[in-house]
């Protein structure tokens, strides 16, 4: 997928979308407040954050060896392990498996990686029926939409929109009762769970020592995907490896608290081997377990100046605390991953040219750095990307001229001093008697804010030289 | 040999090694590679918060209730059928069957020998019917471990202990013995107890299934059980688990 992301245009549209703004305002503080309460109650949080960052980093520094360890253990457990260099290959591998087992219906739990590789589109073009089973993803699928958050995919929608979709697709009466809507989805999806041939899940973590996949969820749909169908495919990025069960316990203490403010998510499943088929009854899980380890740009991200980003455990805390994301939602970021982590990943995964506006989407306030449970230096990564964009793509004519002028002014002290004195004069002309500039024609800042210029009669250098003499 | 796409495998490994500035061809021992040095995980900060082991039951109940579970305490397994009968009598149901007709429960084989008839319960220990209604159905399981800190159950899949029993019905009743309760997840997932996730599937369950996808409003019973009822056995130790 090579489309260009027009972030500035999309964010302006998002700000003018009243329904979106109403829906975002309802949800914004909830994630922040719940996380804060959970972290405040968890004394070891900072210690565990440091350890989690170190553990993930040490695995990334030897990623080839850890992947081989995982593969070796998984194969010894009776699972199959396939590797995909890119999105297209990953989709083809999934389709091949589904053809091989003569699947008609495929059920999926939430997987952002599957969104990255556009798996559903590929499977539908191969005439498979694909059903998203996470409630939010199911609603998104019915709407023909895309997720706007990596943990809460339909945070941009409201109950009325859900009711309209259910009435249209289920032919049921409309309702604004959220419990009723949830029960309706439960009943509809249970039929699909029972009749599916293949279950596809992602993996929050892959444990190298035991050859296990860990899936963290609240609804139970992932458990159903990994219990009822006879074939299960696990899609995992190559960066998902952690060394052992101790690391798993550590990550599990950080992920739910950072994502939703829960001490622990409702269901955490460890899948280690295929189930044995039984003669008279279906097995309690898939008799065929297949991992697809997907690169799709991750090996490139592994280079030293961007490796930190692969520590991400997809909690969503960065976007929940981002003042930009809070005001525009996820779709304005134009691809699978929104917010600060998306602003770093998207340029690397789809191309700097296509996503050159995203590194500039941040205010660089640093909230994301502060809340990341694996201490990814997101602002540093964004700054690096900004430099890359300027070097590779250049900048616009006005900015070039402005910087050239600034460069010329700064080269000689007298030029700089003259410029600041002219600037001070202009400020006095624009300001009023109270020391405020209330309007600058054509400048959007002063539409909602004033600029204080104070009542100081001299420049700082004038004041400094005067005081030096005295 | 389950790995059937060695060409892609080699390409991915080569790219990884290039980014890591390592030799790109790996070694002949790639099929059984030496494990890199394990980073050590230190849980001592967590263990500072651990209360005395005699408090574990109380903490577990407190955490389970916070997860929207209900709880009961009994002395021994023999009391289980009557305890369940009491729970079901008090449980509100959208459509209550005749007060005298037996309630049906799907349960693990280990509970079969108990006296269900006297409690007016029809107990079935064969594999749960996958077509069962999502309403008014009850599954009964035991647990391998429980975690006091988070009110969590650890269940492991086994032919006589299908996890589907804890997933498909509307109500999940779980039996927990006092000696199965540990304080933290790290106590039971540590490397020294690695066999605990050697079963095909192990699951941690912390209350009824839930979702807050629609307007961040919490609703119980998304896809899994809407009710989780824990029966704690305080005077008996847990039986041996099947291997």
A274 contacts in B (CB within 8 Å)?
200
Rounded to whole angstroms, how far apart are CA atoms A152 and A28?
12
Q: Tell me the count of A-B CB pairs closer than 8 A.
A: 287
Rounded to whole angstroms, how far apart are CA atoms B47 and B53?
12
Closest CA to A46 of A260, A257, A309, A320: A257
Confidence of residue A91 (pLDDT cuts 50, 70, 90): very high
- Distance (Å) from the C-alpha of residue A269 to the closest C-alpha of chain B? 4
What would you measure as the largest C-alpha separation in chain B, in angstroms?
Answer: 75
Residue of B nearest to A55 (CA): B39
Q: Which helix (H) or strand (E) holds A59?
A: helix A45-61
The average pLDDT across A111-131 equals 96
Residue of B nearest to A109 (CA): B223
The average pLDDT across A37-58 equals 95
Among A15-24, A284-293, B89-98, B192-201, the range of highest mean pLDDT: A284-293
Cα-flanking dihedrals φ and ψ of residue A169, to 5°?
A: -95, -30
Rounded to whole angstroms, how far apart are CA atoms B143 and B233?
12
Closest CA to A453 of A440, A464, A437, A429: A437
- Distance (Å) from the C-alpha of residue B140 to the closest C-alpha of chain A? 15
Residue A10 has pLDDT above 50, yes or no: yes
Cα-flanking dihedrals φ and ψ of residue A449, to 5°?
A: -135, 155
Cβ–Cβ below 8 Å for A133 and B223: yes
Residue B30 has pLDDT above 60, yes or no: no
Residue B127 has pLDDT above 80, yes or no: no
B130 contacts in A (CB within 8 Å)?
194, 228, 282
The average pLDDT across A125-140 equals 94
Confidence of residue A323 (pLDDT cuts 50, 70, 90): very high
Closest CA to A206 of A123, A135, A138, A289: A289
Which is more confident, A293 or B51?
A293
A134 contacts in B (CB within 8 Å)?
213
pLDDT at A464: 87
B186 contacts in A (CB within 8 Å)?
246, 249-250, 253
Q: Which long-range contacts (CB under 8 A, 24 or more apart) does A416-423 make?
A: A417/A459, A417/A461, A420/A459, A420/A461, A421/A459
Cβ–Cβ below 8 Å for A219 and B210: yes
The complex scores an ipTM of 0.93
The average pLDDT across B63-68 equals 96
Residue of B nearest to A246 (CA): B190
pLDDT at B95: 45
Residue A28 has pLDDT above 80, yes or no: no
pLDDT at A277: 79
pLDDT at B1: 37
Cβ–Cβ below 8 Å for B200 and A285: yes
A79 contacts in B (CB within 8 Å)?
2
The average pLDDT across A432-439 equals 85
Residue B133 has pLDDT above 70, yes or no: no
Confidence of residue A280 (pLDDT cuts 50, 70, 90): low
A263 contacts in B (CB within 8 Å)?
63, 149-150
pLDDT at B96: 46
Cβ–Cβ below 8 Å for B159 and A276: yes
Selecting from A269, A274, A295 the residue whose C-beta is nearest the C-beta of B15 gives A295
pLDDT at A357: 94
Which is more confident, A305 or A146?
A305
Residue of B nearest to A192 (CA): B131
Residues above pLDDT 90, as percent of chain B: 54
Chain B contact probe: residue of A56, A148, A199, A268 with most B CBs at under 10 A: A268
Q: What are the angstrom distances between the C-alpha of A297 and each of A58, A308, B34?
A: 20, 14, 26
Confidence of residue A59 (pLDDT cuts 50, 70, 90): very high
3-state secondary structure A405-424: HHHHHHHCHHHHHHHHHHHH
Cβ–Cβ below 8 Å for A85 and B8: yes
Selecting from A55, A247, A272 the residue whose C-beta is nearest the C-beta of B197 gives A272
The average pLDDT across B34-52 equals 77
Residue B46 has pLDDT above 90, yes or no: no
Residue of A nearest to B215 (CA): A158
- Distance (Å) from the C-alpha of residue A158 to the closest C-alpha of chain B? 6
pLDDT at A121: 95
pLDDT at A25: 83
pLDDT at B192: 46
Residue A370 has pLDDT above 60, yes or no: yes
Residue A368 has pLDDT above 60, yes or no: yes
- Distance (Å) from the C-alpha of residue A253 to the closest C-alpha of chain B? 9
How is chain B split among helix, strand and coil, in percent rounded to 5? 30, 20, 50
Selecting from A72, A276, A300 the residue whose C-beta is nearest the C-beta of B19 gives A300
Confidence of residue A386 (pLDDT cuts 50, 70, 90): very high
pLDDT at B69: 97
- Distance (Å) from the C-alpha of residue A326 to the closest C-alpha of chain B? 15
Residue A246 has pLDDT above 80, yes or no: yes
pLDDT at B154: 94
Residue A191 has pLDDT above 50, yes or no: yes
Cβ–Cβ below 8 Å for A182 and B221: yes
Q: What are the angstrom distances between the C-alpha of A8 and each of A358, A401, A443?
A: 9, 22, 17
pLDDT at A448: 84
Mean pLDDT of chain A: 92
Residue A281 has pLDDT above 70, yes or no: no
Residue A2 has pLDDT above 90, yes or no: no
Is residue A79 within 8 Å of residue A265, measured between CB atoms? no
Cβ–Cβ below 8 Å for A224 and B194: no
The average pLDDT across B215-230 equals 93
B50 contacts in A (CB within 8 Å)?
none
A186 contacts in B (CB within 8 Å)?
134, 221-223
Residues ≥6 apart with Cβ < 8 Å to B152: A264, B63, B146, B185, B204, B205, B206
- Describe the strand order of the beta sheet including B145-147 as a list of residue ranges: A241-242, A205-207, A212-217, A267-271, B201-205, B152-156, B145-147, B181-182
Burial label, A10 (beta-carbon count in 10 A; 0-12, 13-18, 19+): middle
Residue A175 has pLDDT above 60, yes or no: yes
The average pLDDT across A279-299 equals 89
Cβ–Cβ below 8 Å for B16 and A303: no
- DSSP states along B145-189: EEETTTTEEEEE-BTTB-GGGGTSSSEEEEEEEGGGEES-HHHHH
pLDDT at B196: 58
Cβ–Cβ below 8 Å for B12 and A228: no
Rounded to whole angstroms, how far apart are CA atoms A318 and A315?
8
Among A231-235, A322-326, A434-438, which stretch is predicted with the lowest mean pLDDT? A434-438
- Distance (Å) from the C-alpha of residue A379 to the closest C-alpha of chain B? 22
Confidence of residue A133 (pLDDT cuts 50, 70, 90): very high
pLDDT at A431: 85
A239 contacts in B (CB within 8 Å)?
none
Is residue B3 within 8 Å of residue A290, measured between CB atoms? no
pLDDT at A424: 83
Cβ–Cβ below 8 Å for B4 and A227: no
pLDDT at B130: 75
Among A118-122, A457-461, B38-42, which stretch is predicted with the lowest mean pLDDT? A457-461
pLDDT at B93: 56
Q: Which residues pair with B205 in a beta bridge?
A: A267, B153
Q: Which residues pair with A267 in a beta bridge?
A: A217, B205
Selecting from A66, A71, A224 the residue whose C-beta is nearest the C-beta of B167 gives A224
pLDDT at B101: 63
Rounded to whole angstroms, how far apart are CA atoms B62 and A402?
64
């Amino acid at each position: 997928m090579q489309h260009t992301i027009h972030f500035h245009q999309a964010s302006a549209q998002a700000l003018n979308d009243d329904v979106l703004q109403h829906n975002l305002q309802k949800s914004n503080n909830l994630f922040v407040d719940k996380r804060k309460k959970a972290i405040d109650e968890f004394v070891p949080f900072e210690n565990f954050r440091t350890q989690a960052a170190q553990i993930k980093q040490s695995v990334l520094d030897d990623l080839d060896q850890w992947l081989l360890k995982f593969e070796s253990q998984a194969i010894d457990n009776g699972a199959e392990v396939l590797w995909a260099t890119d999105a297209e290959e990953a989709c083809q591998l999934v389709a091949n498996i589904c053809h091989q087992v003569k699947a008609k219906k495929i059920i999926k739990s939430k997987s952002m990686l599957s969104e990255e590789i556009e798996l559903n589109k590929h499977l539908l073009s191969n005439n498979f029926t694909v059903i998203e089973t996470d409630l939010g993803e199911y609603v998104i699928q019915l709407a023909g939409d895309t997720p706007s958050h990596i943990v809460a995919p339909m945070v941009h929608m409201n109950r009325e929109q859900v009711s309209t979709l259910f009435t249209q697709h289920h032919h049921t009466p409309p309702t604004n009762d959220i419990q009723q809507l949830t029960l309706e989805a439960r009943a509809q999806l249970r039929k699909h769970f029972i009749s599916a041939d293949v279950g596809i899940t992602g993996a929050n973590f892959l444990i190298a020592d035991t050859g296990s996949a860990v899936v963290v969820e609240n609804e139970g749909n992932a458990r159903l995907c990994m219990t009822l169908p006879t074939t299960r495919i696990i899609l995992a990025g190559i960066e998902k490896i952690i060394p052992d069960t101790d690391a798993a316990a550590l990550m599990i203490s950080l992920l739910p608290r950072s994502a939703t403010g829960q001490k622990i998510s409702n269901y955490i499943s460890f899948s280690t081997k295929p189930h044995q088929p039984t003669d008279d009854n279906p097995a309690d899980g898939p008799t065929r377990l297949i991992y697809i380890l997907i690169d799709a740009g991750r090996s490139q991200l592994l280079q030293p100046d961007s490796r930190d980003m692969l520590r991400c455990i997809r909690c969503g805390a960065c976007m929940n605390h981002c003042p930009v994301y809070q005001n525009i939602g996820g779709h304005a970021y134009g691809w699978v991953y929104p917010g600060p982590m998306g602003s770093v990943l998207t340029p690397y995964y789809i191309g700097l040219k296509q996503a050159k506006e995203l590194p500039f989407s941040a205010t660089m306030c640093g909230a994301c750095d502060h809340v990341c449970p694996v201490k990814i230096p997101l602002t540093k990564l964004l700054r690096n990307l900004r430099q890359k964009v300027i070097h590779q793509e250049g900048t616009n004519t006005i900015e070039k001229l402005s910087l050239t002028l600034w460069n010329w002014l700064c080269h000689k002290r007298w030029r700089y001093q003259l410029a600041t004195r002219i600037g001070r004069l202009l400020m006095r002309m624009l300001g009023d008697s109270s020391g405020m500039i209330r309007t600058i024609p054509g400048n959007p800042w002063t539409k909602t804010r004033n600029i204080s210029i104070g009542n100081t009669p001299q420049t700082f250098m004038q004041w400094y030289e005067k005081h030096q003499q005295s | 040999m389950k790995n059937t796409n060695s060409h892609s495998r080699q390409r991915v490994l080569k790219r990884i090694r290039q980014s890591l500035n390592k030799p790109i061809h790996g070694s002949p021992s790639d099929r059984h590679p030496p494990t890199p040095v394990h980073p050590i995980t230190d849980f001592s900060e967590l263990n500072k918060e651990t209360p005395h082991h005699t408090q574990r039951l109380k903490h577990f109940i407190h955490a389970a209730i916070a997860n929207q579970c209900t709880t009961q305490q009994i002395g021994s397994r023999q009391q289980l059928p009557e305890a369940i009968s009491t729970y079901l009598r008090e449980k509100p149901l959208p459509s209550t069957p005749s007060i005298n007709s037996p309630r049906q429960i799907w349960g693990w084989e280990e509970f079969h020998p108990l006296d269900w008839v006297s409690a007016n319960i029809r107990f079935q220990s064969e594999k749960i019917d996958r077509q069962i209604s999502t309403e008014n159905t009850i599954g009964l399981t035991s647990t391998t471990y429980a975690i006091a800190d988070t009110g969590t159950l650890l269940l492991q899949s086994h032919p006589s202990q299908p996890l589907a029993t804890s997933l498909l019905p509307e109500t999940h009743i779980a039996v927990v013995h006092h000696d199965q309760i540990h304080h933290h997840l790290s106590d039971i997932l540590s490397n020294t107890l690695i066999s605990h996730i050697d079963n095909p599937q192990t699951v941690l369950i912390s209350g009824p299934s839930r979702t807050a996808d629609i307007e961040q409003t919490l609703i119980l019973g998304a896809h899994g059980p809407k009710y989780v009822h824990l029966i704690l056995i305080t005077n008996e130790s847990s039986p041996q688990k099947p291997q």
